[in-house]
Structure 1
Amino acid sequence: MTDLTFYTNPQSRGQIIRWMLEEVGVPYETEILTYGGSMTAEPYKSINPMMKVPAIRHRGTVVTEVAAICAYLADAFPEAGLAPALTDRADYYRFLFFASGPLEMTFSLKAIQYDPPADKQAMFGHGSEARTFAALETMLTGRDYACGDRFTAADLYVASQLGFMMTFGMIEGTPLLKAYVARCTDREAYRRAKQIDTEAAEAMKTDAS
């Protein structure tokens, strides 16, 4: 038994937290949940009333929402070096919450093939797809990572979102963004996480057949 439990589905945003956990490098248990099944029933419904994954339970405390889990794990396990010092977190927080706000909104709307018309963009937190990616390009120009020359949990989240969109053909990606994603994902923890989730997804297909 460990004091860290990870609730996920291998075909979800839980892949981001799987990568984060592999970066942290501490033992954890995984509970695989099914859409429309165990994800919407007790006991998980009490863990996350939103009935979605991912979530973690660490020493009896539940954390949900991808950005919150990334930030929590980086702070809970500082030896992994996934967050800057408290006095140097401006860019870290900016990128982390850009990913959970404008970039996540762009991802979700892109999935349903909707981009707000010009007269409605002020109603959306990201404005538009074009504005979001233009802003991200500007923010990343002249730096390897969100915090300059070091990889952090903020990069893990931003690169995951971009990687999903590129993998599924939602965006082509500019040379700058492609290089950024390649740089961030060229890590052993990322490769381990992908293998674990790929195998878990295949096991779920076998069990369902």
Structure 2
Amino acid sequence: MTELTLYTNPMSRGRIARWMLEEIGQPYNVEILDFGPPMKNDEYCAINPMGKVPALRHGSHVVTEAAAICAYLAETFPEAGLAPRPEERADYFRWMFFTAGPVEAALTNHALGLEPPADKSRMVGYGSYASVVDALEKAISAHPYITGERFTAADVYVGSHVSWGIGFGTLQPRPAFTAYWDRLKNRKALNRASELDDAAVANMKKTSA
């Protein structure tokens, strides 16, 4: 079996990739990197030139960006049942990449207090924070899951952003968002991933103390 290695930090978007790896049920290795120099050295930048996590090595191939990692693992390990069926593909790709683009940008800018002027909103791509949040609410309200009646890899990615948005206050805790997250938060794979990452955080703090 070709080896999987996750490069991550448990206080990063690497938690999304860890959740996805637990969902597919394949063995994998983990390399935890501290922020700063360990992510910016030549060795790691040969894996991800951005010097960021997560990154996934699968044999001789490397995938970066959490949304891409989710999509890659779903297609590479179809036996997990997390890739989209033909009738789910449009919503799967639409909302996963909507979240990777407009949602990510709008929530980050909003958290930083960077709101584009109304007459410049077209320049930022996503338009406005309000329009992005409204569109996301409609997407997750249309079905129990983002593509329909069943859980897919898109829910790993979209659900992670909804959870973090509610938790950090960058996303309004509308009933639709909390109801969507309630359908995801007790997944066994998520709980395993969270326990592993929380233990890694505790170990990092203990080591640095």
Q: TM-score, normalised by structure 2?
A: 0.95
2:62 counterpart letter in structure 1? V
Q: CA deviation at 1:142?
A: 3.2
Structure 2 spans left out of the alignment, 5+ residues = none
What is the CA distance between 1:86 and its match in structure 2? 4.4
Identity, in percent, stands at 51
| Aligned residue number for residue 132 of structure 1 | 132
Conserved in 2, the CA contact under 8 Å of 1:81 and 1:152? yes
Cα deviation for residue 44 of structure 1 reads 0.6
Local SS of the residue matching 1:6:
strand
Runs ≥4 residues deviating over 4 A: none
Partner of 1:68, secondary structure, is helix
User: 1:2–1:29: 8 Å Cα contact kept in structure 2?
Assistant: no
Query: 1:84·1:92 contact (CA, 8 Å) conserved in 2?
Result: yes
Q: Report SS of the residue matched to 1:43.
A: helix
Q: Deviations over 1:40-81 (max 9, x none)?
A: 113111000000000000021000011111100000111111
| Residue equivalent to 1:112 | 112
Give aligned pairs, total: 209
Task: Answer whether contact 2:14 2:54 (CA < 8 A) is retained.
Answer: yes
- SS of equivalent residue, structure 1 residue 72: helix
Q: What residue number does 1:154 align with? A: 154
Structure 2 distance, partners of 1:33, 1:95, is 30
Superposition pairs for residues 4-23 of structure 1, below 5 Å?
4-23=4-23
* Cross-structure match for 2:199: 199
TM-superposition CA deviations, 1:95-145 (whole Å, max 9, x none): 110111111112221331222221121111211110001111222233101
Q: How much has 1:27 moved relative to structure 2? A: 0.4
Q: What's the counterpart of residue 44 of structure 2?
A: 44
Amino acid at match of 1:190: L
TM-score normalised according to structure 1 size: 0.95
RMSD: 1.5
1:54 to 2:54 alignment: yes
